[in-house]
Structure 1
Amino acid sequence: MWRKAGVKIPILPFSGDVYHWGERNGHAYGKHSLHQARPGDVLIFGTGPQNTSTSTHIGIVEKVEGNQVTMIEGNSGDAVRRNTHTLSASTFYGGVHP
């Protein structure tokens, strides 16, 4: 989605790679800074970007209301869905601004 919006990000097949791209380009924030999340960002599920066991899923932030975040997630029950989660370090290890 970001590429279609003009963000110069390569195709990255693994959610941890998106986080590493964000780190290299000054766009990533960790689990202690989840309050920075805003529409258009991605939040990454899991405990860290090391591998597919620790970086398990990714979604695009639609809105943040208090400690709730509504996201658009692909591959959620074999569909693209809107899901709401608690904005918590126990769920997300970080996020990336476009």
Structure 2
Amino acid sequence: GKNYTPSGNLAGVSSSVQRAIQIAAGELGVREYAENRVNRPYNINDAWCASFATWAWRQAGINVPWTNKNYVRSIWSDAKRMGLAGSSSSARPGDLVVLNNQGHIGMVVARNGNTITTIEGNSSDAVQRRTYNLGASGMVGVVHPPS
């Protein structure tokens, strides 16, 4: 997992976004040792997908003053208010993608046509890579990092 190289075109992607992707990729394979418990800095003793995504952004210097960085609905609401929310069709590497009707969030690490690859925390109790078609059922939209 440590040698993961993002696929897809990263031309024009900012260095902070590239760093966020590398940081998220470095966590691939982290698993819960007990329910909603991971021995990592993004552990919150609760559902941790949002904590993981915002931690990866912050480690890369992408700091957004979320009302609650650990709660997907709060992040999506803030993103809309701040003008950072976009439709899933605008997804690009480094974005956070809001899934499961605001019940889950992950980081977009690659886009190829109408397919995105994500790295998500708390995906089947681990940090895992997933692939989705844009507009998949329950996909709400994306949160772009501030420019």
TM-score by length of 2: 0.55
Give 5+ residue unaligned stretches, structure 2: 1-55
Identity of aligned residues (%): 43
Question: In terms of mean alpha carbon deviation, does 8-17 or 70-79 score higher?
Answer: 8-17
What is aligned with 2:124?
A: 77
Q: CA RMSD in A?
A: 1.5
Q: Is the 8 A contact 1:34 1:89 kept in 2?
A: no
Q: Which has the bigger relative contact order, CA under 8 A and spacing at least 6?
A: 1
Aligned equivalent of 1:41, options 83, 87, 95:
95
More strand by share: 1
How many residue pairs match? The answer is: 88
Task: Say whether residues 1:24 and 2:43 are aligned partners.
Answer: no
AA at the equivalent of 2:126: A
Residue ranges of structure 1 left out of the alignment (5+ in a row): 48-54
Confirm or deny that 1:5 pairs with 2:60: yes
Contact preservation (8 Å) 2:120, 2:129: yes
Flag the structure with higher helix content: 2
Q: For 1:71, what is the secondary structure of its paired residue?
A: strand
TM-score w.r.t. length of structure 1: 0.80
- Per-residue displacement from partner, 1:33-91 (whole Å, max 9, x unpaired)? 322100000111133xxxxxxx2110000111112110001111111001111111523
Change in CA separation of 1:92 and 1:39 when aligned onto 2, cut-off 3 Å = same
Alignment match, 2:109: 62
| Alpha carbons 1:40, 1:60 under 8 Å: kept | yes
